[in-house]
Structure 1
Amino acid sequence: MSADANRLLANARLPGVELFHADFSGQPFGRHSHDAFAIGAILSGVGGYQCRGARHAIPAGHLSLMNPQEPHTGHAESSRLVYRMLYIEEARLPALLGRKRLPRGFAELNPSDDGAVAAGLARVAVEFERQDCLALETELLSLLEQVFVRHGGLRALAPAPRDGGVTARLRDYLEAHYREALSLEQLGVLLQRHPRHLIEAFRRCYGVPPHTYLLQRRVREAKRRLLADEPLVEVALSLGFYDQAHFSTTFRRFTGVTPGRFQRGLHA
């Protein structure tokens, strides 16, 4: 497997955040460091590196956590290594977490995990591919809160209080702007609340986070347009879906059938 299988993803609306999807066999990484927190999960194979004066082997099912400016090497201990690594610049954390103080950092480099952090990282990876900023920010904030509480010494916050006026305004805004590419940062500025507060308060009120509500609204509009016999591709693109596959997957998630089958059923 060549190094060409590696991918580094970023989103212009989320500066200081990158996702590295590594898939290689023989590419070593010499001693280096990052100006970011690194949060990774081994998907298959065994990863290895030298750090803090010791050699580490990381099997699938373990996390790989690194603090900023921590020198280390990297290599594959197995014939093939696949992992995901999320990089978050240290200066971005207070704003993303909604905290004045940074977490103290990761004491353990490769803890075993019950799958929650790895699953959260997988959801972040999916949204990086789709470039849906609202969904990506939602999954990212959830992952960061989780990993730093579980492994970084961050104290869990109390649930956000009910905020009926703000959540109603947010719902109305989503209803009016469901075709647009929205971001949590934009919504936070508009409603003068931290994105984490908006997510939690909205979920408590409506049962789902804002990006799920937005997808449901788009599917509702998609059904109306499909009933009018509009072409599938035009419907998908006009409603802000990443591609036809994203449209089909989302439509089926909320209706149980693909948009094509829904539309064909109208003429059966």
Structure 2
Amino acid sequence: MSGGAEVRAWRPGVPGVVEVLHAHFPTHAYPSHTHDAWTVLIVDEGAVRYDLDRHEHGLAQAQVSLLPPHVPHDGRSVLPGGFRKRVLYLEPDRLGVQLIGAAVDQPEYVDPLLRHRIHQLHRVLRDGREDLEAQSRLLFIEERLQQHLTREVTAAVQRRDAGVAGQLRELLDARVADGISLEEAARIVHAHPVHLVRAFSREFGMPPHRYLTGRRVDLARRYLLDGRPAAEVATLAGFYDQSHLNRHFKKVLGVTPKSFVAPRPARP
């Protein structure tokens, strides 16, 4: 092999496994390329640095790397002595193409159990005489990988939801007295109204209408302390009328607006 490279590749008789590769590359560096399969990679010696979708990543011996199909990546050794690796290439539908984005976002996992299971499967595949065991071990590996990918999807959704919720809060803060309809807010932040309410409630622990009511009560307090009459304060703070203000004010603070600003008896 060129540069002292050692490569053993074969196609096992295990459904879902396109190819198995065991290799030692003292000097070789992969140029940017793609695969039509999921690439499950562990490093046994050295460390690897690679770019995936134009973002740099690293893989050490304690990690597992999962490279998605059809996404460009390269590979090179971090250390002068090169690296030794073992790779499983899995058919695209074994993990699902809908999870490709999650793998692009997070292609490495520090998961000792997953790495050990991959190591065990490679030993069975190298022996080549226990297809049922290989199939069973592959299923457990795929289940574990899907758990990681699903968590990444969930985390990504939560990050997006937090952004949507934050945008709605900014809209509510900017229009405390005037208010804003869910339909208008949904158009502004490009989210379905139902999703908008759910994201806001999950992020801030209350639905948008309760948040807005609380902000209006805060605004009413300031106007009341300025000496304005309650009827005027109700309109200025965004309530329908004084009774509407009284109901929510007492619910939040336990007293009516009148009691809130009632003169305190002088101390002796």
Q: TM-score, normalised by structure 2?
A: 0.49
Higher helix fraction (1 or 2): 2
Q: TM-score, normalised by structure 1?
A: 0.49
Rg comparison, structure with higher value: 2
